[in-house]
Amino acid sequence: MARLILKDGTSFEGKPFGANTDSQGEVVFSTGMVGYPESLTDPSYRGQILVLTYPMIGNYGVPDDSKDKWNIKKFFESGEIQIRGLIVSEYCEEYHHWNARRSLGDWMKKHNIPGLYGIDTRALTQKLREHGVMLGQMVQDGHTPASEIRDPNTENLVAQVSIKKPIVYNAGRGKKRIIAFDTGIKNNIIRSFLERDTTFIRVPWNYDIWKSKYEFDGIFISNGPGDPATLKETHKIVRQALEKKIPVFGICLGIQIMAIAAGAKTYKLKYGHRAQNQPVMDLKTKHCYLTSQNHGFAVNEKTLPAGWEVWMRNINDNTVEGIRHKKLPFMAVQFHPEATPGPVDTDFLFDKFLKMV
């Protein structure tokens, strides 16, 4: 047996799978029914212990590491599992799927990620909804719990998941050149741009694009983990882009970075939005979209400066899901239009941005 111990002392006992190791992180939950290979490799989950509310996990296994024509992994959103631990109600060791090559447990063991099953994830989720996300630790049988749990939000999680040197995709062949800040970018975001015939220049989170050799027509700011307020170097560069009136598009962490660069503030949500079923409304058209989301912070709309407007809103809790400038080519959304996993209702936003460029 093994345990999940929350910071307030609450303990949940379960059976271990995956790697036989202890782990610490911020305990969060996702209500998605499918998509664990994509979710576990999403860099936005860096530093977190993920609780999946869907009762049976692992039944369709894990696919292989095959890549597409751009040398990007087809079935995963990054090169590794990003979570620090996984909590499920029922783990299915025997998998059945035409594309499966290994079990979830074997995959997690390879990446040294522990898992627990047999836990009442419903009760755990209710606790997190009532009290908010909490720090926790996963402790294997016979091991002594740590006396202190380190808060991952005090680390520069973005620096951990970002690339170290620029990578250029589709060099010289794309009609438009997009430079993208990799603050934890998902593979399908890259693919979404490449499918639209762009040259995609992926740069580190703090890369000074004004002193680089790369020419570009527009700027993209990706998703990623942690507190957006800590990324001061990125704020400065994006603020300069806004001053130069260069087209800018942000997704997830990208909307928070853009808002801060414009002069607004962000705040931490009680338990965040993590699932593939989050309803969002366009305030102008009144059109509702189902979206995929994974974030723990949001934009404080009361702090948006003059010239900016709330574009989209979460129907469940009224939080900001999209902002844009009323006259200049700046827009950002809190959800994931590239999906993986989740609905592709908002895929058109990539086209909308490229028309602005």
Query: CA–CA distance from 322 to each of 133, 218, 298 (Å)?
Result: 23, 19, 10
Distance CA 323, CA 343 (A): 21
Angle between helices 232-243 and 253-262 (to 10 degrees): 70
User: Whole-angstrom distance between the N-terminal and C-terminal Cα of the chain?
Assistant: 55
Residue 99 corresponds to which tokens in the numbers above?
């594309």
Q: Which of 38, 77, 321, 338 is catalytic?
A: 338
Cβ–Cβ under 8 Å, residues 310 and 323:
yes
Measuring CA to CA, which residue among 76, 83, 44 is closest to residue 255?
44
Residue 266 corresponds to which tokens in the numbers above?
């962000």
Question: Could you confirm whether 338 is annotated as catalytic?
Answer: yes
Tally Cβ neighbours within 10 Å of residue 19: 19
Distance CA 256, CA 51 (A): 25
Question: Among positive and negative, which fits the CA dihedral 130, 135, 277, 324?
Answer: positive
Question: Could you confirm whether 233 is annotated as catalytic?
Answer: no
Residue 12 corresponds to which tokens in the numbers above?
């949940």
Distance CA 103, CA 109 (A): 10
Q: Which residues contact 196 (CB under 8 A, 6 or more apart)?
A: 350, 351, 354
Q: Is 95 exposed, middle or buried (0-12, 13-18, 19+ CB in 10 A)?
A: middle
- One-letter amino acid for residue 225 of the chain: P
Q: Which of 235, 252, 273, 295 is catalytic?
A: 252
- Collapsing DSSP to helix, strand or coil, 60 comes out as coil
Nearest 5°: CA angle at 327, between 325 and 331? 30
Question: Could you confirm whether 93 is annotated as catalytic?
Answer: no
Residue 154 corresponds to which tokens in the numbers above?
């005090």
Cβ–Cβ under 8 Å, residues 155 and 26:
no
Tally Cβ neighbours within 10 Å of residue 286: 7
Catalytic residues: 252, 336, 338
